[in-house]
Each structure stands twice: as C-alpha cells, then as structure tokens.
A and B are shown apart, each in its own frame.
Chain A
Amino acid sequence: SQQGEEDPQALSIQEGENATMNCSYKTSINNLQWYRQNSGRGLVHLILIRSNEREKHSGRLRVTLDTSKKSSSLLITASRAADTASYFCAPDSWGKLQFGAGTQVVVTP
C-alpha cells in the first residue's frame, strides 16, 4: 500500500511531556509529509522531509526519515494542550499523496 500507517492510533500525555508517533509505508517515495487536524477542521501542513534528508526540525517538531526501513517519526517536544489533534503522515509516492487514519493525540493540562 502507498498509504502511511501511523502508530500508535491514540496517545494521551500531560502538558510538558514529549509525544512521539511513527509512520510506516511500503513503496519508494519522493518525500513524506506530516499534517495536523484539529477536531472538525481541515488538515494543516506541518513539515515536509525529502527522501534524501534524515532529520528536519520546525519549532518544537522534529521529524526523522529512514528510507531503508520505510519509516518516519514525528516528535513534539514540551507538548501543550493546544497540540491536542490528530496527526497524519503522507508518503508522496510517484504522484500519490496517500494518508492513513492518523494518531490521535490528547494533551491534558
């Protein structure tokens, strides 16, 4: 399948803790993207990592990519209640950007 498969399905943490979620895929990719979706809203782009990159940072976000294992991870450091959302990965595989079901993250104060 070309879609990203996120793991875990759900994650519950307290404010200040780090949240890590993983993404696996099955085909070669041009890039891999991570998105956030707040309840009842559209998806918002967080970060894009190209196939020749291994790590990328954006504010409190850190994304890694291991093309040999066909996996990526998203780390949110020092989480806040406002980080409560679903997080999706989307491997870009030859013209298709296919999402999975996301990881639902709940950050409690």
Chain B
Amino acid sequence: DTAVSQTPKYLVTQMGNDKSIKCEQNLGHDTMYWYKQDSKKFLKIMFSYNNKELIINETVPNRFSPKSPDKAHLNLHINSLELGDSAVYFCASSQTSGGAHGELFFGEGSRLTVL
C-alpha cells in the first residue's frame, strides 16, 4: 500500500481553468503538507494542516484553497490557473510532537502544466 498517494500524477490545462489535486495518507499521521517545486527544484512549503486545522499558510495566493475533510486527506484546489502555477506539487505527511516535525513522507508528486 502506498503511504502517501496523490492524484492525478499529471495535469495539463489551460489558463483560467480550475483544477484539484487530491492527497491521502494511510500512516495515521497528524500533519499534512503541500509543497510546490519549481523548475529549479526549489521546494517551497505552501500549507500545513494538523488534525484538519490550518497551521501554515505561506503567502500563497488565495486562488489556492486547501481542504482537509479528515486528518488522512488534504486536497488542493486551484482557481483561475496562471502560467506561473506550472510546477510539481507534492503532498507529504508526518507525525509532529511538541511542535517538532518527524520524518516527512512524500507522495510522488503531481506535475501541473498550464498552457
């Protein structure tokens, strides 16, 4: 069983469209994340949720809306897609303790291409 699974793996869409990426973890972790990796491989945190509550929102445009229906799922919805949104989006999960992060488990990534 895949520990952190995200779908779809590839997404090609036109500017202005709305798209979603789904993520699920079966590790029982309490914290989930979305990271964005650009073409230069820089990996930047976007959001972090702990037990369904938003913990980190890193100055991401409000066109990006994460939703956590339960602590095993963290989905990412993107409205009005722009060319600059093209990137690989990674979901991850970890168990936190006293504010410190344990090991992060990453999904395989969702490559978004906006035309």
Contact = CB atoms under 8 A, between A and B. Distances in A.
Q: Bound pair: A and B?
A: yes
Interface of A: 30-31, 33, 35, 37, 40-45, 48, 86, 88, 90, 92, 94-102, 104
Interface of B: 4, 33, 35, 40-45, 48, 55-56, 90, 92, 94, 99-109
Nearest to B102: A48
18 contacts: A30-B100, A33-B103, A40-B109, A41-B108, A45-B105, A48-B102, A88-B43, A90-B104, A92-B101, A94-B99, A95-B48, A96-B45, A97-B45, A97-B101, A99-B45, A100-B42, A101-B40, A102-B43
A47 B70 CA distance: 29
B111 to A, nearest CB: 9
Contacts of B40: 101
What's the dominant secondary structure at chain A's contact region?
Answer: strand
Given A41-B109, A44-B106, A45-B105, A92 B56 contact: no
B109 A42 contact: yes
Given A101-B40, A102-B41, A95 B55 contact: yes
A34 B70 CA distance: 29
Given A95-B56, A97-B101, 5 more contacts: A31-B101, A33-B101, A33-B103, A40-B109, A97-B33
Nearest to B55: A95
Nearest to B109: A42
A1 to B, nearest CB: 11
B61 to A, nearest CB: 19
